[in-house]
Copies of this chain bind each other. A is one copy, B any other.
Amino acid sequence: MEHRFFLKGNLCHTPVLGRLEVHENAYLLCEDGRSGGIFAQIPPQYAHLPVHDWDDCLIVPGMVDLHIHAPQFAYRGTGMDYELLDWLKMRAFPEEMKYADPAYAQTAYGLFADALEKSATTRAVIFATIHREATLCLMDRMERTGIVSYVGKVNMDRDAPPELTEPGEGRAAQDTVRFVEEARERAYTRTFPILTPRFIPSCSDALLEALSRVRRDYALPVQSHLSENPGEVELVHRLMPDAAFYGEGYARYGLFGGESRTVMAHCVYSSEEEIDLLRKNGVWVAHCPNSNMNVASGIAPIRKYLDRTLRIGLGSDVAGGQTESMFRAVTDAVQVSKLYWRLVDPQAKPLTFAESFYLATKGGGSFFGQVGSFEPGYELDAVVLDDSTYPHPQPLSVQDRLERAVYLGMDRDSIREKYIQGRAARTI
Q: Which residues of A contact B (CB under 8 A)?
A: 74-81, 95, 98, 104, 107-108, 111, 290, 293-294, 296-299, 322-323, 331, 334-336, 338-339, 341-344, 350, 352-353, 391-394, 396, 400, 403-409, 412-413
Would you call A75 and B394 a contact (CB within 8 A)? yes
Say which residue of B78, B108, B323, B339 sits within 8 Å of A336 (CB atoms): B339
Q: Which of A74, A76, A299, A335 has the most CB of B within 10 A?
A: A335
A77 CA to B396 CA in the complex, in Å? 12
Q: Which residue of B lies closest to A408 (CB)?
A: B77
A353 partner residues in chain B, CB cutoff 8 A: 80-81
Would you call A404 and B77 a contact (CB within 8 A)? yes
Would you call A78 and B335 a contact (CB within 8 A)? no
Q: How far is the CB of A3 from chain B (nearest CB, A)?
A: 38
Say which residue of B77, B107, B350 sits within 8 Å of A296 (CB atoms): B350
Given contacts A322-B331, A343-B343, 14 further A-B contacts (CB under 8 A): A75-B404, A76-B408, A78-B404, A80-B334, A80-B407, A107-B393, A290-B335, A294-B335, A294-B338, A323-B407, A323-B408, A409-B409, A412-B413, A413-B413
Q: Which residue of B lies closest to A402 (CB)?
A: B78
Would you call B111 and A403 a contact (CB within 8 A)? no
A413 CA to B414 CA in the complex, in Å? 13
Q: Which of A95, A297, A339, A344 has the most CB of B within 10 A?
A: A339
Would you call A407 and B322 a contact (CB within 8 A)? yes
Q: Which residue of B lies closest to A351 (CB)?
A: B81
Q: How far is the CB of A395 from chain B (nearest CB, A)?
A: 11
Q: Which of A80, A107, A352, A403 has the most CB of B within 10 A?
A: A80
A338 CA to B82 CA in the complex, in Å? 10
Q: Which residue of B lies closest to A322 (CB)?
A: B407
Would you call A293 and B336 a contact (CB within 8 A)? yes
Q: Which residue of B lies closest to A342 (CB)?
A: B298
Would you call B352 and A407 a contact (CB within 8 A)? no
Q: How far is the CB of A248 from chain B (nearest CB, A)?
A: 25
A-B contact pairs, 26 of them (CB 8 A): A74-B394, A75-B400, A75-B404, A77-B406, A78-B400, A80-B353, A80-B403, A81-B350, A81-B353, A95-B394, A108-B393, A111-B392, A290-B335, A293-B336, A293-B339, A296-B339, A296-B341, A296-B342, A297-B342, A322-B407, A322-B408, A323-B407, A336-B339, A343-B344, A409-B409, A413-B413
Q: Which residue of B lies closest to A405 (CB)?
A: B77
A407 CA to B79 CA in the complex, in Å? 11
A341 partner residues in chain B, CB cutoff 8 A: 296
Would you call A393 and B342 a contact (CB within 8 A)? no
A299 partner residues in chain B, CB cutoff 8 A: 339, 343
Q: How far is the CB of A23 from chain B (nearest CB, A)?
A: 19
A331 CA to B336 CA in the complex, in Å? 14
Query: A111-B392, A331-B322, A336-B293 are contacts. A404–B76 as well, Cβ < 8 Å?
Result: yes
A297 CA to B335 CA in the complex, in Å? 11
Say which residue of B334, B335, B339, B407 sits within 8 Å of A76 (CB atoms): B407
Q: Which residue of B lies closest to A98 (CB)?
A: B394
Query: A335-B293, A407-B322, A413-B413 are contacts. A78–B298 as well, Cβ < 8 Å?
Result: no
Q: Which of A77, A108, A394, A405 has the most CB of B within 10 A?
A: A77
Query: A111-B392, A323-B408, A350-B296 are contacts. A77–B403 as well, Cβ < 8 Å?
Result: yes
10 closest A-B pairs by CB: A77-B407, A293-B335, A296-B338, A108-B393, A77-B404, A78-B400, A322-B407, A107-B393, A298-B342, A77-B408
A81 CA to B299 CA in the complex, in Å? 19
